[in-house]
Amino acid sequence: MVKRLFWIGLGTMLGVLIAAKAQAYVRERTPDGARQFLLGSDQENVHIRTLQGLVRDFNTARLRREHELGERYAANRS
């Protein structure tokens, strides 16, 4: 269990580090017009917008699944 937690933590840390380095590379190496096309006009908050999008997608899928299960099991009760 401890090994698994270690590898999950290490993978998460490496993922965050690689994402930060990739974003810094894109900022440095691309012209402003291309950078705005890729990252949008609010380039400082790309990670926040990405996280908000992921949470929104997760909640949409969760609510859809809850509705589906509610209909299925409510029909079985009748």
Q: Where are the domains of the chain?
A: 1-40, 42-78
Please, what are the averages of pLDDT over each run of 10 residues along the chain (78 residues)? 91 88 83 80 77 93 95 79
Q: Is the pTM of this model over 0.75?
A: no
pLDDT of residue 8: 92
Q: What is the distance between the alpha carbons of residues 39 and 22, in angstroms, rounded to a whole number?
A: 12
Length of the chain: 78
Q: What is the distance between the alpha carbons of residues 44 and 54, in angstroms, rounded to a whole number?
A: 18
pLDDT of residue 67: 95
